[in-house]
Amino acid sequence: MSLLAFSRLALSFTFGLGLTALSAAGQTTDCPDLGTRFVSARAEVNAWTGCTGATVRVNGITVTTGQSHPNLCPTLVTYYPAHYEGGVAKRGFRLGSKRQLPITVFQRECVTSYLLFLELGSSCEAVHRFQSGYIDSWDELACGTRVHVAVDEG
């Protein structure tokens, strides 16, 4: 191998190592590149019953029945809280701790008001609420940050 060919090979090898080192700067080999994405709160109507059209609010979310479902009352409304979904590809991040947020079901019924025998009107009113499960909400951390856990030895 000539001296010129050898010098070109050595130069390209050194240059290649330099680019590799620059691209890996600040990255650790154990960084999964996973982060979170925000998911807004939502209310999902599971069942309807006959009633005059009404506007129903569930934890700040309005379920309007007057236009989309006239004369109906949403009898089962499932509320999913706002949360951070984990497992989204995000360079330089990893998932941190996870919290479980409650999924709540609101049971409603149509209540008709009377004055003696005269019907005054109907309204869609809450009668019961229960928890139907949980949804995970994740924190994300930049790779390279440490999480300190305090241990009580007492």
* Position 13 in a domain: no
Residue ranges making up the domain that contains 39: 30-142
User: Given a cut of 90, is residue 29 above it in pLDDT?
Assistant: no
Prediction pTM value: 0.61
Q: Kindly report which listed range (50-54, 115-119, 131-135, 148-152) carries the lowest average pLDDT score.
A: 148-152
User: How confident is the model over 32-78, as pLDDT tens digits?
Assistant: 999 999 999 999 988 888 876 455 656 666 655 555 556 778 889 99
How many C-beta atoms surround the C-beta of residue 43 within 10 A? 19
* Position 136 in a domain: yes
* Position 74 in a domain: yes
The confidence band for 83, taking pLDDT boundaries of 50, 70 and 90, is very high
* Position 36 in a domain: yes
- 3-state class of 26 per DSSP? coil
Cα separation, 87 vs 138, in Å, equals 9
Rg for the chain, CA atoms, rounded: 29
* Position 76 in a domain: yes
Number of structural domains in the chain = 1
Cα separation, 9 vs 16, in Å, equals 11
Alpha helices, H only, 1-154 = 3-24
* Position 12 in a domain: no
Cα separation, 72 vs 118, in Å, equals 21
Token duo for residue 59: 């934890």
